[in-house]
């Protein structure tokens, strides 16, 4: 027997509505073999509330259009990385459009698993079908299974209907804490132009990634704007009259609103740091007769190693801040523009792998500089010459966060290693951050603690540190290794290579990963070289022809004479990078750009007056504090 039907009336007990409610319902218990038979229940519905499962959001888009459904509000169970499944710009667009038209809301459960299937299908004639059973919306579950459903048909607003609606509402409160596309829809509402809308959709889908602040990075203009604002907010300016507030760096603190101290031991009071940045006023300097202090390059302000802190906020457009203690428990926050070549040092300091010594703040030709001394231990580099070395290509990518590979003694690619799960984790974390900060900006911080963004970025940072440590360990397992990276200075210039490059440069904290690999390699005495990155991801490592990537993870060689055909795309890229070093294309443009370069191999290994195995290196970090 496939089906049972019955008519249930609640009107027989009008004096006991607390038990039976009002209205009547038709009851139907049925076995359903085809997904389409099940979906027929939804045909022409005015509105559907549901708690269920569907493997992709596309299925729901299809349902809405093919079954002529007015609107659908669905809580999806077991939906880890659901947003990850929106990979097509076109799908994202229709999802956004449906959402903006209030036709589709997809609520995602977080952590808790929902296995229930409940549907409330409101028809245009004001009848409502209340459905429960085993049937979900996914295709998979219909291939091998027969589902059973119970349908109660009643009128909208009867107590039975209201009860079921309340039941669904409780699910939504208890299980759901974000809705699919929410961050994107809000971001789109703020977009100024169709192009920007397009960018933001591409970005969300993952076809246009940017690092720094996800919000700021939505387009380059926003980044520039932010820079300007941040500079204004915390700029140290010469003319105290123009300042909102003055700080004395010199002997006449009574003339200042606040004074800078040169502390020896400063307790680190936990000031709300974000607030401190937001509210930091323009700071003027008090002129003094006997000493001009900061306005005179000869009399810089010195800080002991206790006096000053570097702070790193990868989520902001300006990533590095210098925190100067002054006035007991306040800090002056200055956005700093570090020399890109010194990023390795900053990463090392930030990770506690280098220690900060004395620092000086001074002005030269209208620009403020902060010199920081930093120390770290490095191992001596082996004496192997360039052609004795094994080149390990390091590819930073999207599908795989980092991929390394090298060629064995016979020239065959060997021991490829991919950090693919980590790539996925970072994408998820960034998406979570993006959605949550949007919510925070729009709705206040009811459900999201203020430290949320920092937590997410700390997780990303920890993961980066683990991966870069493992990359260096990989190199240590190879005889006479040299790590070969793509040259970031070329990368910066090659923005017009197109979207792909752009995406790689911004999307993956490219500079951050490179800097961490560099300083960790130097610590172990492993040389790092850079090569021109042009087409490393598009050329075939076997024949050199430019091929294409039918899928993100696959490289296809189009040369008929080439044996290769298809190859893992990231590994192909890594081998190309290694080969460029081997073919002598290596250069150290990135390294020699700045005199202070921490990665300048010569400077790091040259000192003769060193202890036995570990050399102590000192470098001056020239950091602009503007």
Positions in the binding site for Zn ion (CB under 5 A): 540, 542-543, 557, 559, 562, 564
Q: What is the DSSP letter of 260?
A: B
- Cβ-based neighbours of 571, under 8 Å, separated by 6 or more: 395, 403, 405, 413, 416, 418
Q: Return the number of the residue (31 or 562) whose C-beta is nearest Zn ion.
A: 562
Q: Return the number of the residue (391 or 540) whose C-beta is nearest Zn ion.
A: 540
* Dihedral (Cα; 403, 408, 412, 416), 10-degree rounding: -20
Distance of CA 88 to CAs 84, 186, 577, Å? 10, 19, 30
Query: 3-state DSSP call for residue 69?
Result: coil
Residues 42, 75 contacting (CB under 8 angstroms)? no
Q: Return the number of the residue (17 or 544) whose C-beta is nearest Zn ion.
A: 544
User: Closest separation between CB of residue 394 and Zn ion, Å?
Assistant: 22
User: Closest separation between CB of residue 566 and Zn ion, Å?
Assistant: 10
Task: Give the integer Cα–Cα distance in Å for 211 and 511.
Answer: 10
User: Closest separation between CB of residue 573 and Zn ion, Å?
Assistant: 14
Task: Give the integer Cα–Cα distance in Å for 421 and 356.
Answer: 34
Please identify which residue in the block is written with the tokens 């060193």: 610
E strands present in 222-366: 236-237, 245-248, 258-259, 283-285, 301-303, 309-312, 320-326, 330-338, 355-364
Which pairing describes strands 24-32 and 3-9: parallel, antiparallel, or unpaired?
A: antiparallel
Nearest to 623 by CA among 373, 301, 291, 276: 373
Q: Return the number of the residue (429 or 542) whose C-beta is nearest Zn ion.
A: 542
Q: Return the number of the residue (106 or 557) whose C-beta is nearest Zn ion.
A: 557
Q: Return the number of the residue (13 or 548) whose C-beta is nearest Zn ion.
A: 548
User: Closest separation between CB of residue 542 and Zn ion, Å?
Assistant: 4
Q: Return the number of the residue (390 or 568) whose C-beta is nearest Zn ion.
A: 568
User: Closest separation between CB of residue 560 and Zn ion, Å?
Assistant: 9
Q: Return the number of the residue (384 or 542) whose C-beta is nearest Zn ion.
A: 542
Q: What is the DSSP letter of 587?
A: B
User: Closest separation between CB of residue 539 and Zn ion, Å?
Assistant: 8
- Cβ-based neighbours of 182, under 8 Å, separated by 6 or more: 435, 438, 439
User: Closest separation between CB of residue 548 and Zn ion, Å?
Assistant: 12
User: Closest separation between CB of residue 549 and Zn ion, Å?
Assistant: 14
Query: 3-state DSSP call for residue 259?
Result: strand
């Amino acid at each position: 027997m496939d089906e049972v039907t019955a008519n249930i009336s609640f009107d027989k007990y009008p004096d006991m509505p607390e038990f039976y409610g009002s209205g009547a319902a038709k009851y139907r218990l049925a076995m359903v073999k085809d997904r389409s038979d099940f979906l027929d229940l939804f045909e022409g519905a005015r509105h559907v509330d549901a708690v269920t499962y569907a493997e992709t959001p596309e299925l729901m888009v299809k349902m809405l259009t093919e079954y002529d459904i007015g609107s659908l509000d669905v809580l999806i169970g077991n939906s880890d990385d659901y947003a990850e499944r929106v990979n097509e710009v076109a799908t994202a667009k229709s999802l956004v459009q449906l959402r903006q038209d209030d036709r589709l809301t997809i609520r995602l459960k977080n952590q808790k698993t929902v296995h229930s299937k409940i549907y409330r299908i409101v028809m245009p004639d004001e009848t409502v079908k209340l459905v429960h059973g085993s049937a979900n919306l996914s295709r998979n579950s219909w291939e091998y299974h027969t589902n059973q459903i119970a349908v109660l048909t009643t009128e909208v607003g009867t107590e039975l209907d209201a009860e079921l609606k309340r039941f669904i509402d409780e699910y939504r409160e208890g299980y759901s804490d974000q809705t699919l596309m929410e961050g994107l829809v809000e971001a789109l509402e703020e977009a100024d132009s169709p192009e920007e809308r397009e960018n933001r959709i591409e970005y969300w889908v993952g076809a246009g990634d940017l690092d720094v602040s996800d919000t700021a990075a939505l387009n380059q203009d926003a980044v520039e704007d932010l820079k300007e604002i941040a500079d204004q907010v915390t700029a140290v300016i010469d003319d105290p009259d123009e300042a909102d507030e003055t700080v004395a760096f010199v002997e006449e603190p009574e003339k200042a609103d606040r004074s800078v101290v040169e502390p020896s031991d400063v307790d680190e009071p936990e000031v709300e740091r974000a607030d401190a940045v937001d509210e930091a006023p323009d700071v003027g300097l008090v002129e003094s007769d006997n000493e001009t202090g900061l306005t005179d390059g000869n009399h810089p302000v010195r800080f002991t190693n206790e006096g000053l802190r570097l702070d790193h906020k990868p989520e902001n457009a300006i990533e590095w801040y210098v925190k100067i203690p002054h006035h007991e428990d306040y800090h002056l926050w200055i956005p700093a523009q570090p020399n890109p070549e010194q990023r390795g040092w900053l990463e090392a300091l930030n990770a506690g792998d280098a220690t900060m010594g004395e620092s000086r703040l001074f002005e030269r030709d209208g620009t403020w500089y902060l010199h920081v001394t930093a120390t770290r231990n490095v191992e001596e580099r082996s004496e192997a010459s360039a052609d004795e070395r094994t080149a390990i290509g390091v590819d930073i990518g999207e599908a795989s966060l980092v991929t390394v590979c090298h060629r064995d003694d016979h020239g065959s690619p060997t021991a490829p290693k991919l950090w693919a799960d980590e790539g996925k984790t970072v994408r998820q974390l960034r998406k979570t951050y993006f959605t949550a900060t949007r919510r925070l900006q729009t709705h206040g911080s009811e459900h999201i603690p203020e430290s949320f963004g920092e937590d997410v970025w700390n997780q990303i940072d920890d993961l980066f540190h683990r991966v870069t440590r493992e990359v260096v360990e990989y190199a240590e397992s190879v005889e006479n290794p040299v790590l070969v990276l793509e040259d970031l200075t070329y990368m910066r210039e090659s923005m017009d290579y197109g979207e792909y490059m752009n995406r790689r440069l911004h999307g993956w904290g490219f500079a951050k990963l490179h800097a961490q690999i560099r300083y960790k390699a130097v610590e172990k005495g492993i040389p790092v070289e850079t090569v021109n990155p042009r087409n490393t991801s598009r050329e075939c490592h076997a024949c050199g022809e430019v091929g294409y990537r039918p899928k993100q993870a696959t490289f296809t060689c189009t040369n008929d004479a080439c044996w290769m055909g298809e190859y893992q795309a990231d590994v192909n890229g890594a081998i190309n990078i290694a080969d460029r070093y081997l073919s002598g294309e290596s250069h150290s443009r990135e390294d020699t750009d700045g005199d202070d370069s921490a990665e300048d191999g010569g400077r790091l290994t040259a000192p003769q007056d060193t202890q036995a195995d570990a050399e102590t290196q000192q470098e001056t970090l020239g950091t602009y504090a503007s």
